[in-house]
Amino acid sequence: MSILQQILFLVALGATGWFLTQRIHLIRRAIQLGKPEDRTDRPGERLNIMLRVAFGQKKMMTNVTVGLMHFVIYLGFIIVNIEVLEIILDGILGTHRLFAPYLGGVYPFLINTFEMLALGVWLVCAGFLIRRYVTKVPRFQPERHREMGRWPRTDATLILTFEILLMTAFLLWNASDTVLRQRAVGHYAELQGLEPFVISQFLMPLFAGWSDTALVVCERLTWWFHILGILFFAVYVTYSKHLHIVLAFPNTYFSNLAPKGEMKNMPEITKEVQLMLGITQADPDETPAEPGRFGAKDVRDLTWKNLMDAYSCTECGRCTAACPANITGKKLSPRKIMMDTRDRLEDIQRGWQTNGPDFDDGKALLGDYITAEEINACTTCQACVQECPVNINPLEIIVQLRRYKIMEEAQAPASWNAMFSNVENNMAPWKFSPGDRFNWAEQVNQ
């Protein structure tokens, strides 16, 4: 590799590092907009959840075929990119297949493994494209789910197509490199004893009539495309739903360990109710606490974990497909709730970049992004929480937004107000006194 190529490679590597640093800083700052919440308890249990759900892809296996496909693309893309270490060192040092002389027979075994996984990634990505555009899996279709509009659909297509191109470049690079070794062209002759690799050997006939110069150009172009593609991919995923490749691990580690169905009450309100019911006694020396805002209107009213959930969303739609409200035609889509929350955070980020850290556009998550009709349709059944493959909890956001709408703005549906009145007066949702609650039992033995 020439000095000029080394310089260009270092520039590309430095630019990637700079862009990644900027994006990570912005995303981290956006997540920190959320309220503090302690998720450090029971570290052993948390680690176990992360290993099973994020590393082991446990929840993906509810559909075995799709689960295995996802596992291949996940494992294959991660492992194939281990070779990036060698490529980066080659680019910095100006060497070619730096590890080959030192690893001996292990080197071809590793490359053969990488090639088989690369082929697996290629086939699975093609399969996922077929699922989206040929068999048309319902949860990905924009005509059925409005949140899956132009950009989400394009984003998924770009990533799948790009991964196919990266794997193709990797295999073509190995094939052209092998032909150059066999012809003993230039420095390629130093590794002439290295045998053809398991998959790329079938591509070698494509280069049979090529000149040495054309082969060198092809080898260099595919090498550059592969490494620059990976560097570009590393930056692009920070703007994409594929950020879950990274965030799935901390997101599952910081999962909510409370039993499903247990909702968080505001401590100040809980204490007031307990005092009213005589469960606890007031402390005369205690200053009454200010309850603050009821629920959440914007992302700053949510917790940092809710905001990390938004950035971790895979947009797979399993939550929406399982949502009974959505199935019955209501506007609620848990996937849209998470996508809207992330969109709100991204809009705030753009505001920071153009108008400074004190940016305020006067918008709010509730109203400008998510409507009351959506959140009111939720039955709090936890189906979306159960289905999510990376332990996202859309329900927490929905409940907080609904709490604000009802308790701050007093805008509850009329039927809900009747229920609230019954609970307050009769300690039950039904409109009859507690003394009559078990009258039905008198008829049981008759």
Q: Could you report the per-residue pLDDT of 20-58, keeping only the tens digit for each?
A: 999 999 999 999 999 999 999 999 999 999 999 988 888
Distance of CA 306 to the CA centre of its chain: 13
Residue type, 78: I
- pLDDT of the residue at 409: 86
Map residue 2 onto helix, strand or coil.
coil
CA distances from 158 to 69, 147, 151 (A): 18, 18, 10
Q: Which residue has the tokens 């984003």?
A: 155
Residue type, 23: R
Q: Tell me how far apart the alpha carbons of residues 315 and 229 are, in angstroms, rounded to a whole number.
A: 23
CATH topology of domain 294-431: Fumarate Reductase Iron-sulfur Protein; Chain B, domain 2 (1.10.1060)
Return the domain boundaries, the chain: 3-253, 294-431
Q: Could you report the per-residue pLDDT of 386-402, keeping only the tens digit for each?
A: 999 999 999 999 999 99
Map residue 325 onto helix, strand or coil.
helix
Provide the mean pLDDT of the chain: 89
Across the strands, what pairs with 303?
35
Task: State in Å, rounded, how far the first CA of the chain is from the last one.
Answer: 95
Reported confidence tier of residue 1, pLDDT bands at 50, 70, 90: low
Q: Could you report the per-residue pLDDT of 139-156, keeping only the tens digit for each?
A: 999 888 889 888 898 999
**Burial level of 39, CB count in 10 A (0-12/13-18/19+)?**
middle
DSSP 84-127: HHHHHHHHHHT-SSTTHHHHTTHHHHHHHHHHHHHHHHHHHHHH
Q: Could you report the per-residue pLDDT of 57-69, keeping only the tens digit for each?
A: 888 888 888 888 8
Q: Tell me how far apart the alpha carbons of residues 164 and 22 are, in angstroms, rounded to a whole number.
A: 28
Map residue 179 onto helix, strand or coil.
helix
Q: Could you report the per-residue pLDDT of 202-240, keeping only the tens digit for each?
A: 999 999 989 999 999 999 999 999 999 999 999 999 999
